[in-house]
Structures are given as C-alpha cells and as structure tokens.
Amino acid sequence: MNYCSHCGHALSMRIPDGDNRIRHCCDNCGTIHYANPKLVLGTLPYEGQRVLLCRRAIEPRHGFWTLPGGFMENGETLSEGALRETDEEAGARVEIGPLFSVLDVVHVHQVHVFYLARLLSLDFAPGPESLEVRMFAENEIPWDDIAFRTTAMTLRAFFDDLRQGTFMLHTGRVQPAHAPHAPHGPL
C-alpha cells in the first residue's frame, strides 16, 4: 500500500493519534487505511460417511484437493457465502448445517470458517475454479494432496466426530509452515 485510495497522495506509515499501531496514513486528506484479516468461508459437504472435495484449477495449490470455499464478499452472511462458494466451485446443492470449524490462519491474516452441509444430491459438477469434484470415504482421502491445512484439520475433525457419533464446533490455529508443529504442508 503506497498511495491513498481516497485522494491519490503518497502514504506515510505512522501511529495515528489515539492509536497504538503503525497504520498507512494520508497526510493530505487525513484518511487512515486499516488492514484487517479476511474471512474465508466454506462447507464440508457430506453424504453418509463420504465427503465432497474439489481439485483446484487455480493457484495457489493448483491440482490439490480442497473443500469448496473462498473469500467472504460484502453483502452476504457467513452461511450465504459458504453456500455461494459450494455452488460456484462444485455445483453442489446442500442443506447448510451448523458451524463446524473456525480456524485462525494468522500468518496470512485469515480466518477460515466451515459449515457442515448435507448433500441434497450427488448431481454436482466442477465450476471454472475446479478441475474435478468427487466423493471420498475416509480411507480414500488423498492426505498428501490436500491443498490447505485448514481443509485437512476440518476433514480430520469430521471423521473423528463421525466415529464419536456427534458433531461439535472445532476451533484452533494453523501454525506457519516453517513452525515446528506444522503437520500438513502450506497454508
């Protein structure tokens, strides 16, 4: 961020009056430009003991498998955004269920939120951002080819809960990939 998006003047980095953090400040028009984490919304579409995954047709992680999801847009609720992404990426019709995982991904300034979503039909099809969409039982999940760690965490929680017979809300934090306890690759 170099220029003021309001007036076009060059920005300076300083702590504004009454604040305690360095911000991008415009000394011309006075606008302070805050940067805040973004929400990534998705679903875990399932039928019985199988889940739906999409193989990504876009970067990052082209060719890797993921749950349908993407950035929340202005003008929608959390569940509307999750449903929109499920339709766009997998062409899947689901009945949205409860919040299932809420995961901090601090190093990329994101919070990932997944809803349980019961598939209403197995008549789905990849959208432009997916190469392929298919159902997986637990023993078929391509763990080494999962795109994001929040996907892997959410899938593991689902199959654990399925064995326990009750679905819970799962919260947690993804460590950076270079951290000692990062188990599943990037993001």
Positions that interact with a second copy (CB under 8 A)? 1-8, 10-11, 18, 21, 24, 33-39, 71-78, 98-99, 102, 104, 106, 109, 111, 128, 169, 171, 173
The per-residue DSSP string of 75-90 comes to T--HHHHHHHHHHHHH
Tell me how far, at minimum, the Cβ of 74 lies from a second copy, in Å: 5
**64: helix, strand or coil:** coil
- Give the nearer residue to a second copy in terms of CB position, either 31 or 136: 31
- Give the nearer residue to a second copy in terms of CB position, either 36 or 166: 36
Would you say how long the chain is, in residues?
A: 187
Tell me how far, at minimum, the Cβ of 122 lies from a second copy, in Å: 26
- Give the nearer residue to a second copy in terms of CB position, either 52 or 82: 82
- Give the nearer residue to a second copy in terms of CB position, either 17 or 123: 17
* Separation between Cα atoms, residue 48 and residue 137, nearest integer Å: 9
- Give the nearer residue to a second copy in terms of CB position, either 18 or 180: 18
* Separation between Cα atoms, residue 153 and residue 172, nearest integer Å: 9
Tell me how far, at minimum, the Cβ of 115 lies from a second copy, in Å: 10
Give the residue carrying structure tokens 């080494």: 144
Tell me how far, at minimum, the Cβ of 37 lies from a second copy, in Å: 5
DSSP state of 140: G
Q: Which contiguous run of DSSP H or E holds residue 178? A: none
Tell me how far, at minimum, the Cβ of 108 lies from a second copy, in Å: 10
CA distances 125 to 61, 87, 89, 93, 119, Å, are 20, 9, 8, 10, 13
Residue (of 108, 116, 88, 102) closest to 150 by Cα position: 102
